[in-house]
Amino acid sequence: MMLRIWLNAVLLICGLFCNATGAFVGVNIGTDVSNRPSAPDIVAILRAHQITHVRLYDADAHMLNALANTGIEVMVSVTNEEVLGIGELASTAAAWVNKNVAAYAPSTNITAIAVGSEVLTMLPHAAPILVPAMSNLHKALVASNLNYQVKVSTPNSMDVVSRSFPPSTATFNTVLNSTMIQILQFLRSTKSFYMLNAYPYYEYVKSNGIFPLDYALFKPLSPVKRIVDPNTLFHYTSMFDALIDATYNSIADLNFSGIPIVVTETGWPWFGGSNEPDATSGNAEVYVNNLIRRVSNDSGPPSQPAVPINTYIYELFNEDKKPGPISERNWGLVFTNGTSVYDLGLSDAEITGANSSSSFCIARPSADEKSLQDGLNWACGHGQANCAAVQKGQPCYSPDTLQNHASYAYNDYYQKMRGSGGTCDFGGTATTTTVDPSYGSCRFTGSSNSTLGGPFPSTALGPVGPSSDSPRTTAGLHFGTIATLCLLLM
């Protein structure tokens, strides 16, 4: 009994403080992708690029299994096709939670459920059932004792706001007020957050030159072009901030407050048709880099400066099977082989890794455990690989899996011996990759630098507050200890 009380207390502390490390930038992983890599390969790309938060557009079992024991925070999604059934029957919602959340917890760090995607504007006939669906899912989480870990919300586009500028006068479309009030009541009562899909690219294109391109790209504006809200006199240095403030003001117009906004989608297309001149790799690179810098400030928009803006970039891979204009299929950050579409970084330091010609040797995800153990034993024994880094307490020990330890040992052997005939085989349990498998403070042999093995700097994606290796005290407790307990217990 005392143990249960203690565990509940720790979970409460996790709920209060585990997000205290500052804002993060994550990525969306779409499904309309030709030659999409296997789930383990996608996870390898995420880890190589230091991505610690992902949003899935479904609840794919392969991805959820591959994300287990990685520590990556996962937002799963109820598809638009599933919303009606879940809203109509509580038993359907319970079955969905049991199959797609409870079955993977706590190994897979699922922290949110996105109910549909822009349901109010894409499926307006489903609006009356949206909040019942959210409520049924929340009740199912309560029944599974997962409601403190997993929040429920629904992503909305900026189309639900009738006019976004000036932000101070923004309101929700009046025909949606009844549903929006129900959504906000649910979010407030469950201590969840408002999910916003905010695309300065589309807002800029629709403005027909009213707003300068630099404003959409977070670039500095000259004094004569500065954007000022005439009612509040707030200066907006980016359209991104203005869109978020327009949403905050729309929420306030319905007499709600204290509901934080998480940007579930934003980005910039890197290629478009002849009638899409601003969809270029140069603009995409500038937008995403400046977005990362903006979020890393750990501050909110002018109306909510103390509320950081957690954000998910759209998207990891190009969804080349999507219909519509050419730009719709070219939002990806990396190609399916793991190489970068364009360079990303927070500084002028050289960015290397996934787009390098270096080759690494890693364990095959499909290899059976006995064969992996045999290969690991050989590499660390007769193969004379330096396996110190995968010993307990060392940088590459966690995650404590055969897959991870064998990958490190295989690669150390391969890097040292391939010049004299050493191969990456290990009884068929190994394969080569050009994606640097390094992660966090774990640097694989042959990694080009000790900063990062991918295009994202170590502070770019994931927590951008204090380092996870540095102590942080919260309410008299060591934050590192709390975070560890959160991961173990949730």
At 350-363, the pLDDT tens digits run 222 333 346 788 88
Residue, of 339 and 435, whose pLDDT is higher = 339
Report residue 302's pLDDT band, with 50, 70 and 90 as the boundaries: very high
Pair 300, 367 in one domain: no
Q: What count of residues does the chain have?
A: 490
Give the Cα separation of 18 and 20 in Å (integer): 5
Lowest mean pLDDT among 41-50, 179-188, 318-327: 41-50
Report residue 209's pLDDT band, with 50, 70 and 90 as the boundaries: confident
Lowest mean pLDDT among 284-293, 404-413, 419-428: 419-428
Domain assignment present for residue 50? The answer is yes
User: Residues with Cβ < 8 Å from 489, sequence gap 6 or more?
Assistant: 7, 10, 11, 14, 106
Mean pLDDT of 273-282: 94
Pair 209, 317 in one domain: yes
> Does 471 have pLDDT greater than 60?
no
Domain assignment present for residue 473? The answer is no
Mean pLDDT of 64-68: 96
Pair 180, 247 in one domain: yes
- The percentage of residues in the chain with a pLDDT greater than 70, rounded to a whole number, is 83
Give the Cα separation of 69 and 345 in Å (integer): 27
Domain assignment present for residue 198? The answer is yes
Within 10 A of 473 (CB to CB), how many other CB atoms are there?
10
pLDDT digits (tens, 9 = 90+) for 234-254: 999 999 999 999 999 999 999
Domain assignment present for residue 458? The answer is no
Domain assignment present for residue 441? The answer is no
Report residue 450's pLDDT band, with 50, 70 and 90 as the boundaries: very low
> Does 484 have pLDDT greater than 60?
no
From 387, 409, 433, give the residue that closes a domain: 433
Residue in 265, 285, 315, 328 annotated catalytic: 265
Pair 371, 286 in one domain: no
Q: Read off φ and ψ for residue 99, nearest 5 degrees.
A: -75, -40
Pair 277, 384 in one domain: no
Give me the number of domains the chain comprises: 2
Pair 246, 289 in one domain: yes
Pair 263, 376 in one domain: no
> Is 350 marked active-site?
no
Strands 261-266 and 311-313: parallel
Domain assignment present for residue 159? The answer is yes
Angle at 19 between CA 15 and CA 21, to 5 degrees: 145
Pair 95, 188 in one domain: yes
Report residue 384's pLDDT band, with 50, 70 and 90 as the boundaries: confident
Beta bridge partners of 430: 363
pLDDT digits (tens, 9 = 90+) for 81-133: 999 999 999 999 999 999 999 999 999 999 999 999 999 999 999 999 999 99
pLDDT in the model for residue 193: 98
pLDDT in the model for residue 312: 97
CATH of residue 62: 3.20.20.80
Closest Cα partner for 287 from 233, 341, 226? 341
Closest Cα partner for 180 from 262, 252, 246? 252
pLDDT in the model for residue 439: 78
From 386, 407, 433, give the residue that closes a domain: 433
Pair 84, 212 in one domain: yes
pLDDT digits (tens, 9 = 90+) for 153-172: 999 999 999 988 999 999 99
Lowest mean pLDDT among 125-134, 269-278, 448-457: 448-457
> Does 74 have pLDDT greater than 80?
yes
pLDDT in the model for residue 437: 83
Report residue 328's pLDDT band, with 50, 70 and 90 as the boundaries: very high
Lowest mean pLDDT among 17-21, 199-203, 326-330, 359-363: 17-21
pLDDT in the model for residue 345: 52
Mean pLDDT of 440-459: 55
Pair 295, 377 in one domain: no
What is the per-residue DSSP string for 376-395?
A: HHHHHTTT----GGGSTTST
> Does 31 have pLDDT greater than 50?
yes
Pair 297, 377 in one domain: no
From 433, 454, 475, give the residue that closes a domain: 433
Domain assignment present for residue 451? The answer is no
Residue in 73, 82, 118, 328 annotated catalytic: 118
Mean pLDDT of 36-55: 91
> Is 88 marked active-site?
no
Pair 385, 322 in one domain: no
Q: For residue 421, what are the domain limits? A: 360-433
Domain assignment present for residue 287? The answer is yes
pLDDT in the model for residue 150: 97
Closest Cα partner for 295 from 471, 460, 416? 460
pLDDT in the model for residue 285: 93
Beta bridge partners of 115: 78
Summary mean pLDDT of the chain: 83
